[in-house]
Amino acid sequence: MSLVGQWREIESELPETWGEAKLSLTVDDEGRQPRAAALRAPLAPGRAAESLRFSAVRHRAGASSGAVARALGRLDDERIRGDLALVSSDDVPVVEAAPAPRATDAWDAALTTLPSDWSDVWGEIRFENTDVVEHAALLCAPLNPARTDDGFGFRFRAARVSGYGASPEMVRRCLGRLDEDGVPARVEVLRALSDTGHVATQGPVWYVGGRVV
């Protein structure tokens, strides 16, 4: 069996959580050991008795499974035969990824920071990357989203009782669409007003950076 084939067979028998596999290669023709070591130089091989030692690793710096296969493939190409054996292996503990933050939970949490008589909010929804912003803005179209200058999110107005802006319930429904599509988002209240009165207007405005929001 080729050396690459031997490695693939060893790899297939490793546990799914393997982190490092220490390997030993014994070359059939002892006179070709220097050439074998040279061809495997990227793997930083060492010597132990009559064998060459090296490791394959996952999830950290070192020679990956693919790098090991490529190096052994060079030996196969030059018809250097030998026996590849597994010396030892270790496991990497499986760490479950933290659940993605839910936009509706972030909105609920933001509302708890407001006084009970809040009337108007200027808020911001931010995303991990700009690729999802256009799709998210479509899902949140009822909020009349205004894209942020850095492109990582958009801002919106909310009104609790009346006036300009989406109701808090509508905000939550729009954010629920993000959750349903698996789009993680952070929600922050940038400015808020309480108990405002509308006199022939749709509500108060803020002047930020020379612009009305």
Token pair for residue 114? Answer: 């407001």
CB contact at 8 A, 123 and 189: yes
For the chain, percent of residues with pLDDT exceeding 70: 88
- Residue 130 sits at φ, ψ, to 5 deg, of -80, -15
Counting Cα atoms < 13 Å in the Cβ hemisphere of 57 gives: 9
Which residues, including other chains, have CB under 8 Å from residue 107's CB and lie 6 or more apart?
A: 168, 171, 172, 175, 187
Please determine, looking at this structure, whether the domain spanning 3-91 carries the CATH number 2.40.160: no
Counting Cα atoms < 13 Å in the Cβ hemisphere of 146 gives: 11
Distance, in Å, from the CA atom of 70 to the CA atom of 136, rounded to the nearest integer, reads: 43
For the chain, the structural domain boundaries read: 3-91, 103-196
Distance, in Å, from the CA atom of 66 to the CA atom of 192, rounded to the nearest integer, reads: 55
- Residue 143 sits at φ, ψ, to 5 deg, of -85, -5
Cross-strand pairs, 22: 55, 88
More confident residue, 15 or 30: 15
DSSP code at position 82: E
Q: What is the mean pLDDT of the chain?
A: 86
Q: Specify the fold of 103-196.
A: Alpha-Beta Plaits (3.30.70)
What would the pLDDT profile of 139-184 be if each residue is shown by its tens digit?
Answer: 999 999 999 999 899 999 999 988 889 999 999 999 999 999 888 8
Distance, in Å, from the CA atom of 36 to the CA atom of 84, rounded to the nearest integer, reads: 13
What would the pLDDT profile of 63-103 be if each residue is shown by its tens digit?
Answer: 788 888 988 998 999 999 999 999 999 887 655 556 667 99
Q: Where are the alpha helices (DSSP H) in the chain?
A: 3-12, 33-39, 65-77, 103-112, 133-139, 168-180
Distance, in Å, from the CA atom of 199 to the CA atom of 180, rounded to the nearest integer, reads: 39
Three-state SS at 93: coil
Would the CATH topology of 3-91 be identical to that of 103-196? yes
Q: How many residues does the chain have?
A: 213
